[in-house]
Chains A and B, each alone.
Chain A
Amino acid sequence: MKMIRNRFGNLSRVSAQLQRHVQQMSTNAAAAPEEGAVINEFRTAVTNPGEHSALQVAKFYTIPAEQKKQIFAGGGLPKQYEQQIKTFTEACLMVRNPALELLQYIKATDLTKPVVRYVLYGENGTGKTLSMAHVLHYGALNDFLLVHVPWAPNWMKRPKEASNAAGQEGMIDLPFDAAAWLVHFKAQNSQLLQRLQLKTSKEYVWSKRESTPAGSSLIELVEHGIARIKYASETTAALIAELKQLSTAGQCKVMVAIDGFNAFFHPVTRIFSDNKQLVTPDRITLTQPFLDITNYDWTNGVCILSVDKIAMTEGHMDSHMPRYLLGQEGFEHLDPFVPVLVENYTDKEFHSYINYYLDRHWINKTPQGFEEQLKFMSNKNPYSLMQLVRAL
Chain B
Amino acid sequence: MALRVFGLNIVRSNRNLLKNAHKLSAPPSGYMAVAPFASEVTVQAAPAAVQKQKVSKAMRAYLKRANEHDEFMKTQHLEFQIGKRHLANMMGANAETFTQEDIDEAISYLFPSGLYDKKARPALKSPDVVFPARKAAEFDETGRPFHSMFYTGKPNFFQLLHDIVEETNKLADLEERLLRRGNKPDENQKLEMAGFQLLPKDQLELFLVESIADIEYSNFTKSMERLIASPYAYKSKSFIERFLKPLMDQSKQLEVPKPKIDEEGRQYITTYECLRKTARADVTVRFPGTGKISINGKDILYFEDENCKEQLLFPLQFSELLGKVDVEANVEGGGPSGQAGAIRWGIAMSLRSFVDQEMIESMRLAGLLTRDYRRRERKKFGQEGARRKYTWKKR
- Please tell me whether chains A and B touch each other in their complex, using a CB distance cut-off of 8 A: yes
Binding site for B on A (CB under 8 A): 369, 372-373, 375-377, 379, 381, 384, 387-388
**Residues of A with C-beta under 8 A to B306:** 377, 387-388
Q: Identify which of residues 252-304 in chain B touch chain A, using a CB-to-CB cut-off of 8 Å.
A: 291, 293, 299-301
Q: Give chain A residues whose Cβ lies under 8 Å from the Cβ of B138.
A: none
B291 x A372 contact (CB < 8 A)? yes
CB pair B301 A376 closer than 8 Å: no
Q: Who on chain B is nearest to A388 by CB?
A: B306
Select from chain B the residue with minimum beta-carbon distance to A344. B299
Asked, given contacts A369-B317, A388-B306, whether A376 binds B322 with beta carbons under 8 Å apart, the answer is: yes
- Closest residue of chain A to B322, judged by CB? A372
Contacts of B309 in A (CB 8 A): 377
B171 within 8 A of A: no
Q: List 24 A-B contacts (CB under 8 A).
A: A369-B317, A372-B291, A372-B317, A372-B322, A372-B323, A373-B313, A373-B322, A375-B291, A375-B323, A376-B291, A376-B293, A376-B300, A376-B313, A376-B316, A376-B322, A377-B300, A377-B306, A377-B310, A377-B313, A379-B299, A379-B300, A379-B301, A381-B301, A387-B306
**Which residues of B lie under 8 Å from residue A387 when comparing CB positions?**
306
Determine the distance from Cα of A377 to Cα of B291 in the docked complex, in whole angstroms: 11
Nearest-neighbour CB distance to chain A for B325, whole angstroms, equals: 11
Q: Top 3 A-B pairs ranked by shortest CB distance?
A: A379-B299, A372-B322, A377-B309
A153 to chain B, nearest CB (A): 22
Nearest CB in chain B to that of A123: its residue: B301
| Residues of the A chain whose Cβ atoms lie less than 8 Å from the Cβ of B323 | 372, 375-376
B322 touches A369 (CB 8 A): yes
Query: Which of A373, A375, A376, A387 has the most CB atoms of chain B within a 10 A radius of its CB?
Result: A376
Query: In the bound complex, how far is the Cα of B300 from the Cα of A38, in angstroms?
Result: 32
Interface of A is mostly: helix
- Give the chain A neighbours of B316 by CB distance below 8 A: 376
Question: Is the pair B299, A373 in contact by a Cβ cutoff of 8 Å?
Answer: no
Q: Which residues of B contact A384 (CB under 8 A)?
A: 301
| A372 to B316 CA separation, bound complex (whole angstroms) | 11
How long is the Cα–Cα vector from A379 to B310 in the complex, in angstroms? Answer: 12
List 5 extra interface pairs beyond A369-B322, A372-B317, A376-B322, CB under 8 A. A376-B291, A376-B313, A377-B313, A381-B301, A387-B306
A369 to B317, CA, bound (A): 9
Distance (whole angstroms) from the CB of B290 to the closest CB of chain A: 10
Complex contacts, B313 vs chain A, CB 8 Å: 373, 376-377
* Nearest CB in chain A: distance from B125 CB, A: 53
In angstroms, Cα B238 to Cα A285, docked, is 96
Residues of B within 8 A of A379 (CB): 299-301
Nearest B residue to A387 by beta-carbon distance? B306
Q: Which residues of chain A come closer than 8 Å to B301, judged between CB atoms?
A: 379, 381, 384
* Residues in A neighbouring B322, C-beta threshold 8 A: 369, 372-373, 376
Chain A residues with Cβ below 8 Å from B317 are: 369, 372-373
In the complex, how many angstroms separate the beta carbon of B334 from the nearest chain A beta carbon? 21
Which partner residue on chain B sits nearest A125 by CB separation? B301
Q: Mark B319-340, 1 if CB is under 8 A from A, else 0.
A: 0001100000000000000000
Closest to A384 in B: B301
